[in-house]
Chain A
Amino acid sequence: MSANAVENTNDLDTQRRNNRRVGILLALFASAVFVTVIIRQWVSGGA
């Protein structure tokens, strides 16, 4: 993400759309980490 690309443009709709995109991406990442931790342990013999 370039430094100037997504600065506050004061266009509320664009802003909200951009925010939602970043937010969903981050939430997906967090969920992926959670699932990976458990699956990794599962396949390595635990459980």
Chain B
Amino acid sequence: MQASHDTHDHAHGDHGDHAHHGRAPGLMGWFTTTNHKDIGTMYLWFSFVMFLVGGAMSLVIRGELFAPGLQYVSPEFYNQMLTLHALIMVFGAIMPAFVGFANWMIPMMVGAPDMAFARMNNWSFWLLPPAAILLTGSLFVPGGAAGTGWTLYPPLSVQMGLGMDMAIFAVHILGMSSIMGSINIITTILNMRAPGMTLMRMPMFCWTWLVTAFLLIASMPILAGAVTMLLTDRHFGTSFFNAAGGGDPVLFQHIFWFFGHPEVYIIALPAFGVVSHVIPAFSRKHLFGYTSMVYAIAAIGLISFFVWAHHMYVTGIPLTGQLYFMYATLLIAVPTGVKVFNWITTMWRGELTFETPMLFALGFLFLFTVGGLTGLVLAITAVDIQLQDTYYVVAHFHYVMVAGALFSAYAGAYFWLPKWTGRMYDEALGKVHFWTSIVFFNVAFFPQHFLGLAGMPRRIPDYATQFTDFNAVSSIGAFGFGFSQLIFLWVVLKNIKGGEAAPVKPWDGATGLEWTLPSPVPYHTFEDPPVITEEHLAAAH
């Protein structure tokens, strides 16, 4: 999304050994670049393309569910769609989007010239396209893609064909990429901060990514281990998850969710970080309670490893297990509440304006709170028994994920776009994008709470006629929401082609090191570490 790379900053011309000429010309340049801004741009574009692919799949699902009966797809294909939709959205769209933000912003926020391991950075990006090809390509092999849901539970996943092996391989590659990216981020944050940028003066976005990167390094290998055992069960005669051979299929679920719950916060924490920058900027105030927010993030990260079996209340885990996981899950609501209260107090008695980034941040706050509160309902084991594997859960996690991730990613994209391209985006279009998104999102997902309560199971291609009306409403909302996202593409393309030049600080309330750099940001920044003074610090510190 960086429009022009020929604005070299020759002020830092005294490092003879490394390139000052920007990226190599043409396509080859993108393959070989080690510049954090180039790589960030590629991550962001990649994630947006995957978002559209995964979104198209969700429209196949919602199209089929518009009316009862089987209309367009077979049940097998339906299962493949819901599986790939989830895998692509989680691993292809949301996670890379925030790695893209991290690449762009972390070096600029801590005053580093680039990421710690620039060549590894190139690798962690270029692993993604092959994984994406494996995932989408699996649709076209005999037997099609995995039709197990993104949870890949055996023994169902052992029954699947070649598509399953491709998905497993893709997960391995994506995991590798995430781990490499995380190592890079942690090292950059710990080792490359400019003098005076102490950890407790660091902007909130860097803090959320520091914790997230540790979560990734601890949890991705767990997923990799789980799918590796799945692979050997499928092909090499082991029976980790096969009762007949002394294994236990539920064991896979324990391992999967031991990864899977931290994964929820891997997605949510960087989103919290972005919002913690946008809200103070448009409130013209300091982030209320920086220190307590840092502690809340660390607490959420830690507790997220001890609540996994709340996804498994109906698998027959012992009563003591159910009780423990219920209490632990309730506990995680406390630091999450602290964060919400902090954001609201930050806005209290501010000088609020409502440009697109702020609108998306508010949308995030609204949807995320709804999703968090239904999460509280689901945490109560006895109630969860009625709601587990119904559309209530589908509604809940879309409120958390789409709000937690997508809305905050949009808030960040609109917020930093002028810095990246050096031009203002079309504010009116941005507002249309926001309002259509939030309205259609609620039309699509709010009725699903009612469907779940009435007992409609998830992951079914056809349903009893009593569920017809809400499904029709939900499908209309989904199509509206899907097509609204093309407005964003329009905004970005328009912004790249032209527009009003952006000043150094397009938002009068924005603070932090990145806003001291020219717009667009030069290809190389902070080759000489800046001296950090009070006025360089973000309000989000």
Contacts and interface: CB of A to CB of B under 8 A. Distances in A.
Instruction: Find out whether A and B make contact in their complex, taking CB atoms under 8 A apart as touching.
Output: yes
A6 to B, nearest CB: 5
Given A33-B218, A37-B226, A38-B225, A8 B247 contact: no
B193 A8 contact: yes
Contact of A34 (B182, B199, B225): B225
A23 B239 contact: no
Contacts of B226: 37
Interface stretch (B29-37, B110-118, B290-298): B110-118
Interface in A15-44: 15, 18-19, 22-23, 26-27, 29-31, 33-35, 37-38, 41-42
A38 B200 contact: no
B116 A23 contact: yes
B187 A19 contact: yes
B531 to A, nearest CB: 11
Given A7-B193, A18-B191, A19-B187, A37 B221 contact: yes
Contact of A46 (B116, B200, B251, B529): B251
B225 to A, nearest CB: 3
B191 A4 contact: no
Contacts of A18: 191
B186 A47 contact: no
B86 to A, nearest CB: 22
Given A33-B218, A47-B240, A26 B228 contact: no
A37 to B, nearest CB: 3
B493 interface: no
A37 B251 contact: no
Contacts of A4: 198
Contacts of A31: 221
Contacts of A23: 116-117, 120, 183-184, 187
B90 interface: no
Given A10-B528, A19-B117, A47 B247 contact: yes
A27 B197 CA distance: 26
Interface string B187-219: 100111111111110000000000000000110
Contacts of A19: 116-117, 187, 191-192
Interface string B245-258: 11110010001000
- Looking at chain B's contact residues, the main secondary structure is helix
- Looking at chain A's contact residues, the main secondary structure is helix
Interface string B227-268: 011001000001111000111100100010000000000000
B476 interface: no
B538 interface: no
A15 B195 CA distance: 13
B370 interface: no
Contacts of B190: 1, 6, 22
A40 B199 CA distance: 36
A46 B187 contact: no
Given A8-B529, A41-B240, A22 B182 contact: no
Contact of B217 (A15, A30, A37, A46): A30
B393 interface: no
Contacts of A7: 191-197
Interface of A: 1, 3-4, 6-10, 15, 18-19, 22-23, 26-27, 29-31, 33-35, 37-38, 41-42, 45-47
18 contacts: A7-B197, A8-B529, A10-B528, A19-B116, A19-B191, A22-B116, A22-B186, A23-B187, A26-B186, A29-B217, A33-B221, A34-B222, A34-B225, A38-B225, A41-B225, A45-B247, A46-B251, A47-B238
Interface of B: 111-112, 116-117, 120, 179, 182-184, 186-187, 190-200, 217-218, 220-222, 224-226, 228-229, 232, 238-241, 245-248, 251, 255, 528-529
4 closest residue pairs by CB, A with B: A37-B225, A34-B221, A46-B240, A33-B221
